[in-house]
Amino acid sequence: MPLFVDILLVLLLLPVAMPAIVVISLVLWMTQGRPIFFRQIRVGKYYKLFEIYKFRTMQMDFEASNGSFDPGNSTRVTPVGSFLRRTKLDELPQLFNIIKGEMAFVGPRPEVQEWVECYKSDWERVLSIRPGITDPASIEYRDEEDLLAQQENPNEYYRSVILPHKLDLYREYLVKKSFLYDLGLVLKTAKKVLLR
């Protein structure tokens, strides 16, 4: 979707989203203290680095906010954080990434720099568009954390199995993307979240 459409949708959603953001912020502040938001450097359109926003769902780890990634490790996830992850409410602050023009509702999920460097040439076409909150890979790998937790070497499994498949799905999305296709992915994502 064009940037102005994404921003218009955010503005339409804000009257509903803001009360939820305020309530979640208060719950997090009362149960796990500050900071309420988790910020991490991700790779965006044309390899431009930006800070992605999420509600903090884990115990603090300075390395994580600097771009490290420990796939399959859920030992630091808080009880409230577990609920937010399961319902995808932890992604709500990314509405502000959309307003800033860094993200879209639909598009390849932005990765940390470490994983972009693994397959840099494959990312070139993928990073020709804004990353998104949801996409076909997000739907297919909605239980990615559980899958990685079952692996003997989660990092290697992510690098050699999941990430190449995600890149295939991202490239497939670039071929199919249109307003109606994006709308279908948003509805499909909402359905998956509600069914959980």
The whole-number pLDDT of residue 146 equals 86
Global pTM value: 0.87
The whole-number pLDDT of residue 191 equals 83
Q: Per-block average pLDDT, block size 10, for the chain (196 residues)?
A: 86 92 95 92 96 90 53 72 90 95 96 93 94 95 89 93 96 94 91 73
Return all residues near 38 (Cβ < 8 A) that are at least 6 apart. Answer: 53, 54, 55, 56, 57, 58, 64, 65
The whole-number pLDDT of residue 60 equals 67
* Domains held by the chain: number: 1
The values of phi and psi at residue 105, to 5°, are -65, -45
CA–CA separation, 45 and 42 (whole Å):
10
The whole-number pLDDT of residue 120 equals 87
The whole-number pLDDT of residue 59 equals 81
Identify the domain containing residue 107 by its residue range. 3-195
CA–CA separation, 37 and 54 (whole Å):
6
Nearest to 163 by CA among 48, 68, 71: 71
The whole-number pLDDT of residue 96 equals 95
Beta-strand pair 132-134/37-43 = unpaired
